[in-house]
Amino acid sequence: MSTTILAIAGSTRRDSFNQKVLDVAASGASALGARVLDVRLADYPMPIYDAESEGTSGVPENALRIQDMLAESDAILIASPEYNGGYTPILKNTLDWCSRATRAGTPGLTLFANKPVAVVSASPGPLGGAKAQIGIKIVLERLGLILIPQSFSLGLAASAFNEQGTLKDKDVEKLLRAVGESLVGLTSKLHTATV
């Protein structure tokens, strides 16, 4: 059975370093036959979560669309930028809305439960978003996801890519692809164990 992975970067910036590292990690998953559902958050604008707006207008259609893709997915791959030592508001907001009721009225949290998740990050700073990873990983585990041990933080990202947008250092590329490969590997093992 082929594995479906939802890939999502917490940045809408056109030249996002995190989108780039996400794409490299996702290519490792695709190479093993996984189907990658590429969610670009710029295509899914939604208001900041607040309970009053949820009460009057319900879950926004764009969050429901991401929930639909989560329902199709066996695992999740996340690239998390770092803002002031934390992960980005757009990532948290998306996760918060997706954790709410689905179109069918079932809890959104069931869309995350027991699915493997991997995290990568990139930043122009030396630590590559490592602090943001700590915060987002706590949230992902709270959502019921199974965090895999493999991850990667790309520091000094502003000088890591060539003009074509590919990584200059092939060893770094290998390490990022390995995160996607590991995610597929664990997901397949879990499926084999449960069928």
Ligand X SMILES: Cc1cc2nc3c(=O)[nH]c(=O)nc-3n(C[C@H](O)[C@H](O)[C@H](O)COP(=O)(O)O)c2cc1C
Task: Give the interface with ligand X as residue ranges (CB under 6 A).
Answer: 11, 13, 16-18, 81-85, 123-125, 127, 129
How many CB atoms sit inside 10 A of residue 114's CB? 10
Radius of gyration, CA atoms only, the chain: 16
Residue 157 Cβ, how far from ligand X at the closest point, in Å? 7
Please identify, using beta-carbon distances, which residue of 54 and 83 lies nearer to ligand X: 83
CB of 160 to ligand X, least distance (A): 11
Query: Minimum distance between the CB of residue 154 and ligand X, rounded to whole angstroms?
Result: 10
Return the number of the residue (23 or 173) whose C-beta is nearest ligand X.
Answer: 23
Per the CB < 8 A criterion, the answer to whether 25 and 120 are in contact is yes
Alpha-carbon torsion 14, 139, 153, 66, what sign? Answer: negative
Contacts of 130 (CB under 8 A, 6+ apart): 82, 121, 153
- Shorter beta-carbon distance to ligand X: residue 9 or 186: 9
Closest separation in Å from C-beta 21 to ligand X: 8
Identity of the residue, 14 or 194, whose beta carbon is nearer to ligand X in the bound complex: 14
CA quadruple 125, 177, 142, 101: dihedral sign: positive
